[in-house]
Amino acid sequence: MIRIATRPAIAALLAAAVAVAGCAAGPQSPSAAADPSTAPPQQALTALNKQARANYADGKREMLLRARPAIVVAFDDATLLRADAPAQTESFTPPLYHRYKEVAHLPLGLWSTLAPWVDRPGQTAWRAPLQALLERARAARTTLEGVGFPPDRLARQQQILDRSIALMEATLAAGRPDKAALAAFAQAMAAPVLANGDDAAALQIDGLHAVVGRWRGALTAAQWRQLHVLVLGPKMPRADNLAMQYFERVMGRAERDRRLLYAEGIFDRDGALSLLGTVVTDRALAQAFFGDPMRMDRDFLSDGARKRLDQIFGRQAP
């Protein structure tokens, strides 16, 4: 779910041509629209470009139908899309995954509540959100034994909540955030927070591996070699994303940004499929025109921009 979540290169090129031509053309008269041969020269180019873009969109829809099978990974769920079967969606994330993350988020949320105010004595805007967080933490602390943590992991959850509650109570009693105490708290919480992350990751990897294993068994060897995978997500988790790491191991690292794509800033299956249609169309187009299927994965204007910048600023050393 790439960036690949960048605007498609061919669409950007065609859109730019529309914008340039449109600025010069002005409003199109009904008669010109009805008879392209009588249109002013600028309007004829605009109409030509509009038709080219429409044809590209039609071709993209047809190319997308051939981009099967595909897997779309959307946070907790994965969907298998096949040409010969209905879409199949399965959750691969067990509930305990969320419990580990929920506990780990408390120290992070506590730090974020107080950090903006440690150098602003006399300010009290932190008090109400801190009090609300403390009340939630106290309530959650009483439930830890009943939400499914394994016995060998429970003590860590208790430690995280107890240390967090203690700092909140001390801060409220003092009437001001303490910079040194907050820094010491963050350092002390680093290891248990990361350990919760490790446990959550293991659970999600195991769930994803089980689902993908079943799906792989239902595909032929040829279908598996054609598989596209799109991992949806925001910008910050892109680096070393869990699902991307998993599919790199399953498909091979060479497939990253080829058949394995991170769809940055896309959060629904329709958006992911639109991106996939663009990718398969642009790569076929790039191979046909330039002999390089990846050429349209970078700005169409990039070579020309580099040449002109070299003329202005001098060539950069490689």
Q: What is the pLDDT of residues 216-248, one digit of tens each?
A: 999 999 999 999 999 999 998 888 999 999 999
Predicted confidence band at 2 (pLDDT cuts at 50, 70, 90)? very low
Span between the terminal Cα atoms of the chain, in Å = 32
Nearest to 74 by CA among 86, 91, 88, 87: 91
Cα–chain center distance at 171: 37
Res 66: pLDDT: 82
Res 36: pLDDT: 60
Nearest to 168 by CA among 134, 142, 135, 140: 134
DSSP strand pairing (77-82 vs 85-91): antiparallel
Q: Which residues pair with 81 in a beta bridge?
A: 70
Please give the structure tokens belonging to residue 54.
Answer: 């429409």
Res 27: pLDDT: 45
Q: Which residues pair with 70 in a beta bridge?
A: 81, 228
C-alpha span between 129 and 136 (Å, rounded): 11
C-alpha span between 211 and 140 (Å, rounded): 32
- Please, what sign has the CA dihedral across residues 271, 272, 277, 278? positive
CA separation (Å) from 174 to 108, 135, 278?
21, 18, 58
Reduced to 3 states, what is the DSSP secondary structure of residue 79? strand
For the cut 50, the answer to whether the pLDDT of residue 304 exceeds it is yes
Whole-model pTM: value is 0.80
Res 34: pLDDT: 56
Q: How many CB atoms lie within 10 A of CB 27?
A: 6
User: Under a CB-based contact definition with an 8 Å cutoff, are residues 100 and 199 in contact?
Assistant: yes
Q: How many CB atoms lie within 10 A of CB 35?
A: 9
User: Under a CB-based contact definition with an 8 Å cutoff, are residues 108 and 95 in contact?
Assistant: no
Q: Mean pLDDT over residues 129-156, rounded?
A: 98
Nearest to 250 by CA among 294, 292, 284, 219: 219
Peptide bond into 150 cis (omega under 30): no
Q: What is the pLDDT of residues 246-293, one digit of tens each?
A: 999 999 999 999 999 999 999 999 999 999 999 999 999 999 999 999
Q: How many CA atoms lie within 13 A of 170 on its CB side?
A: 14
Percent pLDDT > 70 in the chain is 88
C-alpha span between 24 and 44 (Å, rounded): 11
C-alpha span between 279 and 194 (Å, rounded): 36
